[in-house]
A and B are shown apart, each in its own frame.
Chain A
Amino acid sequence: MSRRGRLGWNTLGVVLLALLAFPVFWMVSTAFKNNDQINSYDPVWLPGHPMLGHFRDAMHRPYFWTDVKNSVIVVLATVVISLAISFFAALALAKYRFTGRKLFIVLVIGIQMLPQAGLIIPLYVVLAKHGEVNKLSGLILVYLTFALPFCVWTLRGFLLGIPKDLEEAAMVDGSSRLGAFVRILLPLVAPGLVATSVFAFITSWNEFIFANTILHDDQHRTITVFLSLMYGGARFVDWGAIMAASTLIAIPVVIFFLLVQRRIAFGLTAGAVKG
């Protein structure tokens, strides 16, 4: 490629990067500005003297930590339960051929395609009938419906990646097939388990629709609902605190995402891209 051609593409690439990343930059930069800088009509691009006041404000808002705690409880329970039971189903899909296998795969993929909004009413009514509305346990049940199919499908991919010889070597030793998996292959799929659980963590941490529908009072909210409620109602919108809270909520997700992105991003398109 000609030098000038490359220069042109590079310029385009840098401009695009600036456009795409601007909202993220603007969030972080706003969180560190003082209120005069935030409220001025001419934008102040960088805070001259970064201040932590908005972070303190956000964290001292009523229920911030309660809602963080709620989110952590819901997310951990969802991840642990769904991982524990989906592992076995993934094993069945990856290593056995059986009647009904195809139907099960259609179920697993199909459920992931259901629009969440379409399930608000039935899930809400059923939870209400069983007294599970406004309880974290009700929300955990809802999250399992989405986490389970995802975990089954992704773990299946990781299990497929294990070489057959290892499995056979284990069986020659006289172990039963299941025994071989548990003792020899479990350590091999550990990275897959970690990646899958991190991804399930991110999805549940970010979820808004059901958290907003099922949990009603201040003590029982998750952090995304907390963030959504920071805006609105007040005559004066405290953008500094909102951006500080946004940054705080995004940080764990970004860190986790960077860790597993490469491993898991293609679960949804598995096979369409080889390699």
Chain B
Amino acid sequence: MTGRAFAGASVPYLLVLPVVAVLGAILGYPIYDLVRLSLQKYDLFALLQHHGVSVGLHNFGSVLHDPVFWHTLLRTVVFTVVNVGLTIVGGTLIALLLVRVSTWVRLLLTVGLVLVWAMPQVVAIQVWAWMTNSNNGVLNYILTELHVGNYFQHNWYETTFSQYAMVTTLIVWGALPFVAIAVYAALAQVPHELVEAAQIDGARGWRVFKDVTLPVLMPLLLILTSLSIIWDFGAFTQPYLLIGPGQQVQSNYLMSTYLYVEGYGRTDFGRGAAISLLMLAIVALLSVVYVRQMLRVGEEQ
């Protein structure tokens, strides 16, 4: 190998070196530290002393024997399934609607979708809190006026179920535009001739969608679904702020708020680290589908 060729071979490594170095220092090291923390009793005192007391697998044992952990996991799974289901189905339906409306409606609807998409999370949360406040929230007014029931000064944040109805509405509202616009773009790839051929063969509505459109959308829907699962499983800001920082309790924890309150809030970092690792492991498993799909796509290009 000549000197020039050797220098050429090392170029890509030199190019990725800065990113790898920075990520190693500011992410790799903390993750290594996370594993160490999870094996220690590490509280505020330990943080000031810069080292904790080794306790072996005690933190994991205590978390895995805690019924709160299992209830929280189950609640998070149900929450994720409901949110992802509503997001993907709703987004796809909006995309199908976009194909069917006149151009001016499509234009207006797209602008509306992009506007919703652009709303910063914390801003959306504040608007939601205002619309659903028990004193004079506009939601209570509208529901009462539509004779859905008497919602005068109804408090939406009283039961866990009702709290999560609000959080879910907020999250799905914010997530619909991304799915709708992506699916709408993919619908343009559905061959017209195939749709027409199916219609000539007597297929109608749902059949055409299931046999012709859906197979074309499948790769995209797979990616969108796995992304949404990962995002919703780790949802923190919406439940934390909308339900209220002071209202995070055992009966309404999600994985993220659970580890935040029990680990960070109570400065029991060792236990928090154990919960974090368990959560990261679950998300890593969930991400496999997405990463593999993206890798395939990345290699094809």
Task: Please report A residues at the B interface, Cβ cutoff 8 Å.
Answer: 1, 5-6, 9-10, 12-14, 16-17, 20-21, 23-24, 26-27, 30, 39-43, 85-86, 88-89, 91-93, 96, 98, 100-102, 104-107, 109-111, 113-126, 128-129, 141-142, 144-145, 148-149, 152, 160, 177-178, 205-206, 208-209, 213, 224, 227-228, 230-232, 237, 239, 242-243, 246, 249-250, 253-254, 257-258, 261, 265-266, 268-275
> Given contacts A20-B116, A109-B294, are A125 and B37 in contact (CB under 8 A)?
yes
Task: Tell me if A's interface is mostly helix, strand, loop or mixed.
Answer: helix
Contact B113 A104 (CB under 8 A): no
Contact B276 A231 (CB under 8 A): no
B94: chain A residues within 8 A (beta carbon): 16
Residues 217-266 of B at the A interface (beta carbon under 8 Å) = 219-220, 223-224, 227, 230, 233-234, 236-237, 241, 244-246, 255-257, 259-260, 263-264
Contact A117 B234 (CB under 8 A): yes
Contact B118 A254 (CB under 8 A): yes
Contact B295 A17 (CB under 8 A): no
> Given contacts A113-B291, A120-B264, are A1 and B123 in contact (CB under 8 A)?
no
Number of interface residues of B (CB under 8 A): 107
A43: chain B residues within 8 A (beta carbon): 136, 138, 141
Contact B129 A85 (CB under 8 A): no
A129: chain B residues within 8 A (beta carbon): 47, 50
Contact B276 A118 (CB under 8 A): yes
Contact B114 A26 (CB under 8 A): no
Shortest CB-to-CB span from A94 to chain B, Å, is 9
B202: chain A residues within 8 A (beta carbon): none
Contact B18 A89 (CB under 8 A): yes
A39: chain B residues within 8 A (beta carbon): 136
- Is B148's beta carbon under 8 Å from chain A? no
A149: chain B residues within 8 A (beta carbon): 23
Task: Tell me if B's interface is mostly helix, strand, loop or mixed.
Answer: helix
- Is B161's beta carbon under 8 Å from chain A? no
> Given contacts A88-B15, A121-B273, are A275 and B185 in contact (CB under 8 A)?
yes
Shortest CB-to-CB span from B216 to chain A, Å, is 10
Shortest CB-to-CB span from A22 to chain B, Å, is 8
- Is B29's beta carbon under 8 Å from chain A? yes
A185 to B101, CA, bound (A): 42
B293: chain A residues within 8 A (beta carbon): 272
A110 (CB) vs chain B CBs: closest residue: B291
- Is B121's beta carbon under 8 Å from chain A? yes
> Given contacts A17-B112, A41-B141, are A118 and B280 in contact (CB under 8 A)?
yes
A169 to B109, CA, bound (A): 45
A268 to B13, CA, bound (A): 25
Of A10, A20, A91, the residue contacting B113 (CB under 8 A) is A20
A124 to B124, CA, bound (A): 27
Residues 263-284 of B at the A interface (beta carbon under 8 Å) = 263-264, 269, 272-273, 276, 279-280, 283-284
Stretch from B65-73, B174-182, B207-215 that touches the partner: B174-182
Contact B29 A89 (CB under 8 A): no
B82: chain A residues within 8 A (beta carbon): none
**A–B pairs, 19, beta carbons within 8 Å:** A13-B98, A21-B115, A23-B131, A41-B136, A92-B13, A105-B295, A109-B291, A111-B23, A121-B269, A129-B50, A149-B23, A177-B11, A206-B122, A209-B236, A209-B237, A224-B121, A239-B130, A246-B123, A270-B298
